[in-house]
Amino acid sequence: MRIVTKIVSSVLAVAVGCAFTLTSFAASPAYNRSSSQGNYNSGSNYNSGSNYNKNSSNMSQSKIKSVKLSKSSLTLTVGKTYTLGVIINGRSSGRLTWSSSNKKVATVSNSGKVMALRAGSSTVMVNIGGKTATCNITVDKVTTVKTNGTIKSINAVSVSTTVGTEPILPTTVTVVLVNGKNSRASVTWANISSSEYASEGTFTVSGTVSGTSIQAVATVTVTDDTIASIDAVSVSTTVGTEPILPTTVTAVLEDDSTESVPVTWASISSSEYAAEGSFTVYGTVSGSSIQAVATVTVTDDTIASIDAVSVSTTVATEPTLPTTVTAVLEDGSVESVPVTWASISSSEYASEGSFTVYGTVSGASIQAVATVTVTDDTIASIDAVSVSTTVGTEPTLPTTVTAVLEDGSVESVPVTWASISSYLYSSEGSFMVYGTVSGSSIQAVATVTVTAS
């Protein structure tokens, strides 16, 4: 049997549409401060946005926490492009979908590539798993040069549109000067008859550039990408909490491609989510007679208790408290919920001992409680962990690891492990999972062996 070693890191860099590259690590019985360690950000996935299309847009996991773009604002000049990156925190089975609020100013492709068309402003938005992120786009006019007959040639332009939609041509073109350099020049296009884009096909538009008799040429491709259907949306909320519906939905076009389109939802009466149950909300998409449909599930997940938290730190090191706690609901199920902890005075961890920190959870009167243990024993190394599982079964990692302190004594300390992709235990083999211990730069390492069922 061939054993394949797989490595899981708490940061997974994804170049969508490209091959995945995993960096190999050499396992050792214990990791200490003298070891060379990389930097990790748990739970974050990065999507560069390049070469992205509908066939490579499905993320294979679930429960996304947040999404943001590599830039929150961007300034481009007319004719320029920029590809936005997407940073995903958590895992999602959704599809990345893009949209622009003003397509006459700037468009965005399925790969996140923004094209500046004319001066003005627009907002580019990406949506995945009901989470959205935006980037404010400002497009400035191009300052053109006086050509004085020095233009040698004009680069051709390619534009696409759909049947019945007037194409948007750029206000400038790239000109090649006699000295071999490129520049931008304003262009005036000939009028376009609506009959040109009344059906599928291609046609050309001629343009004039001041100071030269050379014509600019734009080739326009017309496609019949009408909406065939709109994917249904599922949203959940709790009793008394207004549900948050997505601002875009996924439309399936006649050619089977998909596109993220803005949606306007009908108003929701508070009586709809006043008790447990489910209801349907309908939305309209501009230019389509097909309605968007969202099913909202309302649950009465009242918090019965909140699991206590234990954290350790060393003298003079501020403890790192978790951003979420485990809430036990009235029906016995558990849920991870955000928590806001009270401020901690530096005097609390100025010497050895223990103290308690209280936290609040939105919508619950029950307080979260964290017990912080302060020790004066710096961690020298952390014992490696070995875990076994069977194919298709997620491994259970320990909640604590054994730390060897500077004085040679040992201590059990809490550990937070990186997320594990189901791919890693989908076949026989072994892989490593890395974990972080509060107050220590040394990583915990667990080797997971996967055997046949």
Q: What is the DSSP string of 121-162?
A: EEEEEEEETTEEEEEEEEEEPP-PPP-TT-EEEE--EEEEEE
| Model pLDDT, residue 251 | 84
Q: How confident is the model at residue 149 (pLDDT cuts 50, 70, 90)?
A: low
Pick the residue with more confidence: 30 or 140?
A: 140
Angstrom distance (rounded) from CA 418 to CA 43 = 7
Task: Note the pLDDT tens digit of each residue in 170-222.
Answer: 888 888 888 888 888 889 999 999 999 888 889 999 999 988 899 999 998 88
CA 16, 19, 21: angle at the middle one, nearest 5?
A: 110
Tokens representing 193 are 């008859």
The whole-number average pLDDT for the span 140-162 is: 73
The whole-number average pLDDT for the span 77-92 is: 74
The whole-number average pLDDT for the span 129-139 is: 86
What is the spatial order of strands in the sheet that 258-262 belongs to? Answer: 227-230, 248-253, 258-262
Task: Note the pLDDT tens digit of each residue in 257-308.
Answer: 788 888 889 888 888 888 878 899 998 887 677 888 998 888 766 788 999 9
Q: How confident is the model at residue 363 (pLDDT cuts 50, 70, 90)?
A: low
Compute and round to an integer the Cα radius of gyration of the chain: 28
Angstrom distance (rounded) from CA 451 to CA 135 = 46
**Report for 18-32, 78-92, 347-361: range of highest mean pLDDT:** 347-361
| Model pLDDT, residue 203 | 94
The whole-number average pLDDT for the span 65-83 is: 82
Diameter of the chain measured on Cα atoms: 86
Query: What is the overall mean pLDDT for the chain?
Result: 77
| Model pLDDT, residue 110 | 79
Nearest Cα to Cα of residue 8 among 441, 418, 387: 418
Q: Are 396 and 405 in contact (CB under 8 A)?
A: no
Given a cut of 70, is residue 229 above it in pLDDT? yes
Q: How confident is the model at residue 142 (pLDDT cuts 50, 70, 90)?
A: low
Task: Note the pLDDT tens digit of each residue in 394-444.
Answer: 999 999 999 888 777 888 888 999 989 888 888 899 999 999 887 677 889
Share of the chain above pLDDT 90, in %: 21
pTM (two decimals): 0.29
| Model pLDDT, residue 137 | 92
| Model pLDDT, residue 43 | 33
Is beta strand 97-100 parallel, antiparallel or unpaired with respect to 106-108?
A: unpaired
Share of the chain above pLDDT 70, in %: 81
Angstrom distance (rounded) from CA 164 to CA 117 = 20
| Model pLDDT, residue 416 | 92
Pick the residue with more confidence: 226 or 371?
A: 371
Given a cut of 60, is residue 47 above it in pLDDT? no
Nearest Cα to Cα of residue 182 among 131, 145, 207, 222: 145
